[in-house]
Amino acid sequence: MNDDTDLGAPEAEPLWESTVNGRPVRLRVPQAKRLLDIVREDLGLTGTKRSCEIGRCGACMVLLDGAPVNACLTMAYQCAGRDVVTIEGIAGEEELHPVQRAFLEEGGYQCGYCTPGMIVSVKALLDAIPDPSPEEAEEALSGNLCRCTGYGGILRSVLRAIEKGRGGS
């Protein structure tokens, strides 16, 4: 058998290029590697949580070109060349994002495991609809589950973030 036979098979780990939290990233990863594993294992961004791994809980929510997606269901090839923002990219270096501040002020967390995904979902909502109705806020969180049943504090946090967006204090 001739060893230089090229069967035209693709590279096992092609170069994956994307922007993550405003920084260009170039990695060799399999095209079917999940975005969740890229951000946690390859980039060390562990704020994006691993939980159900089937897209039901929202703990792994990230923004892909500004839209919330479950990182556990998003493959490398689906986000190559696109803009990814994790919970670590929501705030500035020194300051919390207004949504994060609202969660802190209103106790919108209990164990905190679901909080990053919730904050990412709320940020996406407020970027798309700066003054959403309470119903729109609830709909935006419909893909996020809190196993501690802290929904009262979560909803208060969301409503506070909306109020702050209107110029309230």
CATH 1.10.150.120 in the chain, residue ranges: 98-165
Could you report the per-residue pLDDT of 48-73, keeping only the tens digit for each? Answer: 999 999 999 999 999 999 999 999 99
The stretch 85-89 carries a mean pLDDT of 98
Residue 6 has pLDDT above 70, yes or no: no
Instruction: Look up the pTM and report it.
Output: 0.89
Taking phi first (over 0 means left), then psi (-120 to 50 degrees means alpha), and beta for anything else, what does residue 79 get? alpha
Both tokens of 146, joined, read 């809190």
Could you report the per-residue pLDDT of 13-29, keeping only the tens digit for each? Answer: 899 999 999 999 999 99
CATH 3.10.20.30 in the chain, residue ranges: 15-89
- pLDDT category at 169 given cuts 50, 70, 90 is low
* DSSP helix/strand/coil, 27: strand
Instruction: Please give the residue that has the higher pLDDT: either 95 or 82.
Output: 82
CA–CA distances in Å: residue 125 to residues 25, 26, 43, 74, 144: 26, 29, 26, 20, 13
The class level of CATH for 15-89 reads alpha beta
Could you report the per-residue pLDDT of 100-145, keeping only the tens digit for each? Answer: 999 999 999 889 999 999 999 999 999 999 999 999 999 999 999 9
For domain 98-165, give the fold: DNA polymerase; domain 1 (1.10.150)
pLDDT above 90 coverage of the chain, percent: 80
Q: State how far the Cα of 141 lies from the Cα of 12, in Å rounded to an integer.
A: 37
